[in-house]
Amino acid sequence: MEMRNLEPKAIWENFYLLTQVPRPSGHLEKIQKFLLDWAKERGIEAFKDAGENIVMRKAATPGMEDRKVVTMQAHMDMVPQKGKNSTHNFETDPIETWIDGEWVKTRGTTLGADDGIGVATIMAVMEDDTLPHGPIEGFITADEETTMYGVNHMEPGTLHGDYLLNLDDEEEGQFIIGSAGGINLTAEATYVPVKANADAAVKISIHELKGGHSGLEINEGRANANKLMARILNKAIRTQDAALACWAGGNMRNAIPNSADAVVVLAAGKVSQLKEDVAKWAEVFKKEYEGIEDSLVVETFDEAVPAEVLAAADAKRFVNAIGAAQNGVMRFIPGIGSIVETSSNLAIVEIGEGKVFIKDLIRSSLRSQREYCEEVLTACFENAGMSVETGGAYTEWTPALKNELVELMGKIYKDMFGTEAEVQVVHAGLECSIIGAMYPNMDIVSFGPTLKSPHTPNERCLIPTVAKYWEFVKEVLKQVPVK
């Protein structure tokens, strides 16, 4: 069976359409045009706002005009991650999906169910004239996965909602009412390349790590490819007189890097020992991450000797800084322990052609701890002679003590399914924090069907939860109270 024929077709058909339109973060022209054209064909009011977001509006079912206004919100962009052997081009190619039992999966790439399922839900509601509901607007945001550009650039008054249904959670039966804030940190430097003074070059490649969502899965002990590479290079520089030519690891700030490659130059007589050392590192890493990174691969390849490398002192200071930089969980929420409060994801390393870029995403539900993590990383990189800048900050979403919407949804969920929904806060960053700051009287809840391993090529969606979620969405819209 094809994905588009799964039930409920209202969701899966629209999600299929989204998989056919390239929409990686930073390249949203095609998906924006698609959504506007799709709405126009169906006579749905839609426009692009100042933040490059798509806004759709739908009048109430006759007799329900006096209900509170519901804003349904999801983001249009997806994280472009792929496996080592994938040739997929996220800017041009559709996502290839397949059904494996109860799961929708892809072949070597992210699925984009984060947050394509949310967008598909908005589309399904907008085009279905049989659903009873009050006034509804869809708010489909731009570049949530990178800078939250859309919500950061929307104009006051864009939204009319009393309730916000954020459709960007990954666990069915869970209602999110709070999330961490975050900030991007970038360390940069330049260096003067020197002539390669050796007769051999070796590429060191780390790949097939799990990677993952740097908010939802940062606490699972997964390996960071950049941190592993720093350990290998540190020893190679110290014991084999290896000169670093280039390094590339990771490609998204909010994805734990699952691969990294580096090229070193050294004397031909030392190549054999370097390769032995790398093979030993592979065994060390496999033992350290046993049960977590069971597919981990560390390997070497002979390379043509590049013309230039980093001077020994430059390579040492940059590698040392990356090795020393805070990464992973920094602190759990005191008194809770199971929820991460503060973390750092050393996401991207790019070294070559006289330039160094190191990019990190810091998350925290406590502002002072986020600032402390910034101070720690800044000190680490500035001590290596690098300049450090921060940007793209978004505030934490503090749980509301009274939330009429979560009470309504909790009652509906219990009545429909006979169990209590779990009310939770998460370490991931959600646009709810920014929307809530602009609309402080809006009640907000985030929820969705079950997804696993978002931001990785192993991203998958649990099919039975989508039907359950869709029935719940329809019932919530039906029971929205009078304004």
Residues marked as catalytic: 77, 144
Q: Which of 154, 171, 144 is nearest to 79 (CA)?
A: 144
CA distance 180 to 150: 18
Q: Is 204 in contact with 285 (CB distance < 8 Å)?
A: no
Any residues with CB less than 8 A from the CB of 198 and at least 6 apart, and which? 243, 265, 266, 267, 268, 305
Q: Is 165 in contact with 445 (CB distance < 8 Å)?
A: yes
Q: Which of 439, 430, 401, 433 is nearest to 162 (CA)?
A: 439
Give Cα separations from 305 to 117, 136, 203, 316 (angstroms): 47, 61, 10, 20
Q: Side chain identity at 398, as an amino acid letter?
A: T
CA distance 475 to 473: 5
What is the CA 337 to chain-centroid distance, rounded?
A: 23
Number of other CB atoms surrounding residue 415 within 10 Å:
10
